[in-house]
Homo-oligomer: A and B are copies of this chain.
Amino acid sequence: MAVYTEISDDELASFVATYAIGSIVGCKGIAEGVENSNFLLQTTQGPFILTLYERRVNPADLPFFVGLMEHLARSGVRCPVPLTDKDGQALKTLCGKPAAIVSFLQGMWPRKIAPWHCGELGKAQAQMHLAGMSCDMRRDNSLSVAGWRDLYGRIAKDAAENVETGLHASLARELDFLEGAWPQLTPQAALPAGIVHADLFPDNVFFLNNACSGLIDFYFACTDFLAYDLAICMNAWCFEPDGDFNATKAHRLLASYESVRPLEPAEKAALPLLARGAAMRFLLTRLYDWVNTPPGAMVKPKDPREYLRKLAFHRGVNSIAAYGLS
């Protein structure tokens, strides 16, 4: 679940009254999401999403996230749009925490991924990448290669060994390799960079009437290689529940992405490395949560072994052909 903060009726009524969105007819905590408290707010003008930003989000990053959603929405990307109050403010405070109301994005995230979902995703992600080009904000990706060593250091050796024998040492070797091979994120980089979502898992992509209806949850968005974002999606969307890689899904994802923004040769060549890094990033955060979450916690950590298998797959890939692209 993800409701960490209880909002009193009086506090909520005062808060909503600062917006021109009618009066409250209901407000229910949403069971999804892990980072923040989300509420489905019904007013006389319809549904909205109210988010309270909890401790995992750095308040200093909020102007970037809110500004990005505004920029993307203005550029035609379907995503939640932050509402401004009667004083023009989008970022506010409720129950002592940063808070915002965003528009309700229609659609549902897919529980069972079909190849056509991957096709729709590819187009939507490429559109988002293009729209991000005209955004002049930037935010470092603290969960890219420079951050992995620190994350690794915070995972106790014994705990890692409990997950899989030899894991602690093999992660160190993988880190050494990735730190050596990873491309530099500089203005002269061979790989195009820009604003990426960095967390486009199925629960952040909505569909309606057999089409993607929009993207949500931009709270990991940052400046990084565009193809790295695609590599994250390959990990998140193109493996079957039994662990097998589905090249048909990857083909649909990449080909549809290319129908909107063709990949450069350097990006295609780097994709196996980027996919390996993306698997490492989610393996490390899941492993960290797995070994550091107390047993009674509200949010159950996800099994890190899933990403261990994905990492092993990408280690065996040496050309984009394995991903279904010629």
Residues in chain A within 8 A of chain B (CB atoms) = 1-3, 6-10, 12, 23-32, 40, 42, 47, 104-108, 110-112, 207-209, 295-296, 298, 300
Cα separation A2 to B108 with both chains bound (whole Å): 19
Q: How far is the CA of A208 from the CA of B10 in the complex (A)?
A: 11
Chain B residues whose CB sits within 8 angstroms of the CB of A209 once the complex forms: 23
Q: Count copies of this chain in the complex.
A: 2
Contact B108 A9 (CB under 8 A): yes
Determine if A110 and B47 form an interchain contact, defined as CB atoms under 8 angstroms apart.
no
On whether the beta carbons of A112 and B26 are closer than 8 Å, the reply is: no
Identity of the chain B residue whose Cβ is nearest the Cβ of A8 in the assembled complex:
B111
Cβ–Cβ < 8 Å partners of A12 in chain B = 108
Cβ A6 vs Cβ B208 within 8 A: no
Q: How far is the CA of A95 from the CA of B55 in the complex (A)?
A: 36
Query: Is there an interface contact between A29 and B30, defined as CB atoms closer than 8 Å?
Result: yes
What chain B residues lie within 8 Å of A110 (beta carbons)? Answer: 9
Partner of A112, one of B1, B2, B9, B300: B9
Contacts of A7 in B (CB 8 A): 111
A289 to chain B: closest CB distance in Å?
14
User: Are the C-beta atoms of A207 and B9 separated by less than 8 Å?
Assistant: yes
**How far does the Cβ of A100 sit from chain B's closest Cβ, in whole Å?**
18
**Additional 11 contacts, C-beta under 8 A, given A8-B112, A26-B105, A28-B31:** A9-B108, A9-B110, A12-B108, A25-B208, A26-B47, A29-B30, A30-B31, A31-B31, A42-B47, A295-B296, A298-B300
Task: Tell me which residues across on chain B come within 8 A of A27, comparing CB atoms.
Answer: 108
B residues less than 8 Å from A25 (CB atoms): 106-107, 208
Q: How far is the CA of A30 from the CA of B30 in the complex (A)?
A: 5
Point out which of A2, A6, A108 has the most chain B C-beta atoms below 10 A from its C-beta: A108
- Give, as a whole number of angstroms, the nearest-CB distance from A187 to chain B: 41
Distance in angstroms between the alpha carbons of A217 and B25 in the assembled complex = 18
What is the bound-complex CA distance between A272 and B110, given in angstroms?
53
Q: A217: shortest Cβ distance to chain B, in Å?
A: 13
The answer for the CA separation of A205 and B218 in the assembled complex, in Å, is 35
Q: Are A111 and B1 in contact (CB under 8 A)?
A: no
In the assembled complex, which residues on chain B have CB atoms less than 8 Å from the CB atom of A6?
Answer: 111
Contacts A40-B40, A296-B295 known; A26 to B111 CB distance under 8 Å?
no
Given A40-B40, A47-B42, the answer on whether A26 and B108 have CB atoms closer than 8 Å is yes
* A24 engages B108 (CB within 8 Å): yes
Contact between B10 and A112, CB atoms less than 8 A apart: yes
Q: Are A26 and B296 in contact (CB under 8 A)?
A: no
B106 touching A26 by the CB < 8 A rule?
A: yes
Residues of B near A26 (CB, < 8 A) are 47, 104-108
> What residues of chain B lie closer than 8 Å to A296, measured between beta carbons?
295-296, 300
